[in-house]
Amino acid sequence: MFRTALAISLGAIVLSAADRSPTPVINSVTTLDLQGKITGAGSLRSLRVNLFAVETPYVESTEVNRSGEFRFHSLAPGNYTVAVVRNGLGEVRRTVVVSAAVAGPSGVVHATIPYSSSEAAANPTGGVVSVHQLSIPGSASTKYTDAQKRLAAHDPEGAVHILEEAVAIAPEYSAAWNALGVIAFQTGDDDRAETLFRKAFAADPTAFEPLVNLGGILLKKATLKKQAPAEALPFNQRAVQDRPEDALANAQLGMNYFKLDQFDQAEQYLLAAKRLDPAQFYQPQTFLAEIYTRRGNRNAAIKELEDVLAIRPDGPLSDSIRHNLARLSAGRQ
């Protein structure tokens, strides 16, 4: 499954933070490896790991060894979603930050992914074949798989071409429309992304990915126009209703309420997002810090910002966060 959160740039826009900048190169390291370990799974049979880049069109998949370990090579610095999938059940997703600041001397980032069957069952994306998917012709499904291979080979243009062939064969292919929308968003075409997510949602109104992505793109576009994101709200509300344990859905709903100045509701869902995925790429801690600052709770705000820096010491917002920390700490004295 292709899936993204429309997250990092949106988070910066909502908080009026500094522009994103490239992750610094440390010790001449330009690509890094990710070494992961799955814990709590019991049986490791039928588990696989999918990796999704947040900021750029890239997906990859690998197997899990007998020790529950997996590895991805030569990754560009950035935010990644790791999805641990058990066929016939569902998946567990966590955000992993891949950067030189959190890598070891050999350029390897280590991550532990906790797995539980109950969490996977609550998030059936990628684990269960829906009735809608069964209706898609095999030729279109094959093209969808080929498009994923193109993205793994850093060929988004080729992936788009193949996905367009897939929807030409099967106009009802919601997952392929959604995948095209993800690539459009990641390459900076928000209008096209919205159109494609709407086509995906119309093709299968029960599908979660286009629902949550449509809520995200509408939230971003309203924020860019400095408008209240009222149109995004029902999509983000329904996403949480459909998947109450999904970190992305909770983060977007929390941000939606934040932009509507409904801070009590925002806090509820931002805290849920942080609990479900501590490194979640929307960085819910930054929004919580703003809420606590407005309430005059400097200690709580400082704790949230320190949490962000511990996860992303060289992140694109780190300088701004350090500045805010210094300001809050000075006011606390």
The share of the chain scoring above pLDDT 70, in percent, equals 88
End-to-end distance of the chain based on CA atoms, in angstroms? 49
Average pLDDT of the residues in 169-197:
96
Does position 141 have pLDDT exceeding 90, yes or no? yes
Q: Does residue 14 contact residue 289 with C-beta atoms inside 8 Å?
A: no
Query: Are residues 72 and 144 both part of a single domain?
Result: no
Q: Which of 90, 122, 154 is the last residue of a domain?
A: 122
Q: Which DSSP string corresponds to 146-164?
A: HHHHHHHTT-HHHHHHHHH
The residues, ordered by sequence, that sit 6+ positions from 8 with a Cβ below 8 Å of its Cβ are: 20, 54, 55, 79, 281, 282, 283, 316
Mean pLDDT of 288-313: 96
If asked whether residues 87 and 232 sit together in one domain, one would say: no
Q: Using only the alpha carbons of the chain, give its radius of gyration.
A: 19
Q: Does 285 reside within a domain?
A: yes
Order the strands of the 90-98 sheet from edge to edge. Answer: 59-63, 47-53, 78-86, 90-98
Measured CA to CA in angstroms, residue 194 lies from 21, 93, 252 at distances of: 25, 24, 16
Q: Which two tokens stand for residue 251?
A: 């983060």
pLDDT at 135: 82
Given a cut of 50, whether residue 18 has pLDDT beyond it is no
pTM of the predicted protein model: 0.89
Q: Is residue 154 part of a domain?
A: yes
Based on the fold, state whether residues 150 and 213 are members of the same structural domain: yes
113/140 same-domain check: no
Residue 149 lies in a domain: yes
186 and 284 in a single domain? The answer is yes
In a domain, 20, yes or no: no
- CA dist 109 and 117 (Å) reads 26
CATH at 260? 1.25.40.10
Q: What is the pLDDT of residue 128?
A: 44
| In a domain? residue 27 | no
Residue with tokens 């000075």, as numbered in its chain: 330
Q: Tell me the C-alpha to C-alpha distance, in Å, between residue 157 and each of 4, 153, 187, 206, 236.
A: 18, 11, 10, 28, 30
CA distance 140 to 195: 21
Q: Based on the fold, state whether residues 42 and 81 are members of the same structural domain.
A: yes
Q: How crowded is residue 243: how many other Cβ atoms within 10 Å of its Cβ?
A: 19
Nearest to 93 by CA among 113, 110, 64, 71: 113
Nearest 5°: CA angle at 50, between 47 and 52?
160
Question: Domain tally for the chain?
Answer: 2
Q: Which residue has the higher pLDDT, 135 or 78?
A: 78
Identify whether 5 is part of a domain. Answer: no
pLDDT surpassing 70 at residue 212: yes
Supply the pLDDT for residue 131: 57
Q: Are residues 191 and 107 in the same domain?
A: no
189 and 295 fall within a common domain: yes
User: In sequence order, what DSSP letters do the residues of 52-63 get, joined into one string?
Assistant: EESSSS-EEEEE
* Chain mean position to CA 11: 12
Residue ranges with strand state E in the chain = 32-39, 47-53, 59-63, 69-75, 78-86, 90-98, 108-114
> Do the Cβ atoms of 240 and 269 come closer than 8 Å?
yes
For residue 53, what is the domain's CATH number? 2.60.40.10
Distance from C-alpha of 181 to C-alpha of 4, rounded to nearest angstrom: 10
Closest CA to 256 of 226, 223, 289: 223
CB 279 within 8 A of CB 311: yes
Domain hosting 312: range is 131-332
**37: its two tokens:** 């370990």
Are 317 and 216 in the same domain? yes
* Residue 221 resides in a domain: yes
Residues 180 and 85 in one domain: no
In this structure, the answer to whether residues 299 and 190 fall within a common structural domain is yes
CA-CA distance, 306 to 326, in Å (whole number)?
A: 11
For position 42, what pLDDT does the model report?
Answer: 82
Query: What mean pLDDT comes out for the span 69-77?
Result: 96
Q: Give 43's pLDDT tier (boundaries 50, 70, 90).
A: confident
Give the end of a domain, one of 122, 152, 175: 122
Summarize pLDDT for 219-268 with one digit per residue, the tens.
999 999 999 999 999 999 999 999 999 999 999 999 999 999 999 999 99
Same domain for 76 and 147? Answer: no
- Is 324 a domain residue? yes
- pLDDT of 45 reads 81
Q: At what angle do helices 247-259 and 208-224 cross, to 10 degrees?
A: 30
Q: Which residue has the tokens 């309203």?
A: 222
pLDDT digits (tens, 9 = 90+) for 109-129: 999 999 999 999 888 864 444
